[in-house]
Structure 1
């Protein structure tokens, strides 16, 4: 069994290495604006900082809007944490009996994923939509970010989602839909 585990580990490391080299080559060609390795590192540190140290929401001012307030994102967050904790316990008990050398690695990955979800939720809570004199800054955690001026806006209207025959959403060109999670029932 040790040989299969070592071969699997080597294959995963080689695939990760190939992916990182591919990202770096895209950066060198100019297709990615920021060094992807530093970007990943900064995002991970930011997520962990918000998971452990940034729990208080900053004071509100008239030019900020928190889009997580009336949404169901908190309940999604709670469900994901709940699922991760249950999965962590069940996998650890099962793997400790079947594959004890993998059990600790999976336990650490699950603990990290719980901290990651906590950090992402806190980052979402602490990054509002900011409306300044001539610009709007929208940040949805570390996932998405958009900055634009009022001159770039043709019109603002409620979103109209269109679906194709198989049920997939048809994304319109030149349209930005901003949502953290759909509104809950009030």
Structure 2
């Protein structure tokens, strides 16, 4: 019975997309360039009104976030521009210029509002300063589809840490930093300086060849610089810590690992090169370019989360901790219990 119910639910959710496919097929069967403009208007109405409304009513009582309505609207708009003759695109242009940005602003405002509520709730329920990125992920999980969850949250977190969070928190008991003695921030800062200089020189050279390409590449370089700047700012804001059951390692908003004590074979203070094995990883996003002063050996292979939700397998992990002796002592105390 439950299997039949699941099939019916999938069929129901498929209806808006079946309508969309039907419209695309119809546009290829009928020459819209020679057809009456009323037909184009009817198709535009279906793309911008009928299908989004049908999608809304099929998902409103499901676990699918209502925020997915915006990507559906964008998809319908793109398809409209592809199949509707340019002379009949007035309403599509109007929707793209005036209505679609409003939906996007409402979505972003809603996410910010929900994050703020979640952050205040966390702050109320704990004596420690809550982690903004954790609150952001928790909130986005309720309103953003899972495939887009990590990228969406990471983009917001980069802007927040990069431009709105300046004061570094004081370390609590069993919290550990890695940015004070490590070389990560220095290396990342050098990369930003290289991006700035290379972008300026490359832009001057490319603009003589193609202005559009020059500005596109410059924009991508600026975006990369903002990403790295946000990472640098997030590093001191998110210290690693040890609790009763596990180690939680953080590299700003880019990397995060949870290592249960039950899976730790040993931990050693060492800066020697990691073994040439696929499962031997440096926790830094800079990989072997960055240094480590501790090596954690696991009993069995595990996975840590990289940027944009990338899963990285490891069994030996090189990390840098400023308070390395205190960290090792704390871990060994847990292992010896």
Kindly state the Cα deviation for residue 47 of structure 1 after the two structures are TM-superposed: 1.4
1:70 to 181, 185, 189: 181
Kindly state the Cα deviation for residue 56 of structure 1 after the two structures are TM-superposed: 1.8
1:56 to 154, 160, 167: 167
**Could you tell me which residue of structure 2 aligns to residue 157 of structure 1?**
268
Gaps of at least 5 residues in structure 2 are 1-144, 281-299, 302-314, 322-337
**Contact persistence 2:274–2:318 (CA under 8 A):** no
* 2:219 maps to 1:79: no
- RMSD (CA atoms): 2.4
Kindly state the Cα deviation for residue 180 of structure 1 after the two structures are TM-superposed: 5.5
Q: CA 1:122–1:149 in structure 2 vs 1: closer, same or farther (change >3 Å)? A: same
Deviating more after overlay: 136-145 vs 74-83:
136-145
Larger radius of gyration: 2
Q: Which has the higher contact order (CA 8 A, sep 6+)?
A: 1
Q: Look up the SS of the partner of 2:226 in the other structure.
A: helix
1:138 to 241, 249, 260: 249
Query: d(CA) in 1 for partners of 2:317 and 2:260?
Result: 16
**TM-score relative to the length of structure 1:** 0.67
Aligned length: 143
Deviating more after overlay: 125-134 vs 68-77:
125-134
Query: d(CA) in 1 for partners of 2:238 and 2:262?
Result: 23
Q: CA 1:42–1:162 in structure 2 vs 1: closer, same or farther (change >3 Å)? A: closer
Gaps of at least 5 residues in structure 1 are 1-33, 164-168, 182-186
* 2:288 maps to 1:177: no
Q: Look up the SS of the partner of 2:222 in the other structure.
A: helix
Cα deviations across residues 116-139 of structure 1 (Å, max 9, x unaligned)?
110011122211111123332111
Query: d(CA) in 1 for partners of 2:274 and 2:153?
Result: 36
Write 1 or 2 for the structure with the bigger share of helix.
Answer: 2
Cα deviations across residues 68-119 of structure 1 (Å, max 9, x unaligned)?
2111112202210110100111111112211112222222212111111100
**TM-score relative to the length of structure 2:** 0.39
